Structure 1
């Protein structure tokens, strides 16, 4: 399943963002906030990255890896 793109507007070209915030991740994955964070703790969902200050988001590539095979996805932290 290809990665969903945001709805295009007339003012800006249709370009997928590099990072997605929790609201978009929840919509894309059809998972609730608590389920997302529970799966992160279990290593079954990609963790967010800090974008600066209190902001965090999910990298498009990490979400695509989960979308490609959610049942087999396992996060392994870099060593």
Structure 2
């Protein structure tokens, strides 16, 4: 059984971030870097979004989908 926390709730003074960097994703999910990237490759965890250069991050919306139901999460397939 996994114990995951929900994404931090926004304070009244600022909106939640649109993206989370790897360090934050590791803290939120309690998964290691290698486990995150292995699950991304398997389609069992959201893929990071490339922000430019070498920077990438995870969309807060797709990360929340995984947090809500990690066992049944599947990367959406694109239809032709």
**Fold conserved between structures, TM > 0.5:** yes
Equivalent runs, 1:46-61 vs 2, <5 Å: 46-61=46-61
- CA deviations 1:23-44 (Å, max 9, x no partner) are 0000000000000000001100
Give the alignment's TM-score, normalised by structure 1. Answer: 0.83
CA RMSD of aligned residues (A): 1.8
Gaps of 5+ in 1: none
> C-alpha distance in 2, partners of 1:22/1:38?
14
Shift of residue 60, structure 1, vs aligned partner: 0.5
The number of residue pairs the alignment matches comes to 74
Give the alignment's TM-score, normalised by structure 2. Answer: 0.82
Gaps of 5+ in 2: none
Contact 2:51 / 2:57 at 8 angstroms: preserved in 1? yes
> C-alpha distance in 2, partners of 1:5/1:14?
10
> C-alpha distance in 1, partners of 2:16/2:41?
27
- CA deviations 1:41-71 (Å, max 9, x no partner) are 1100000010111100000100010000000
Contact 2:46 / 2:66 at 8 angstroms: preserved in 1? yes
Q: Which runs of 4+ in 1 moved over 3 A?
A: none
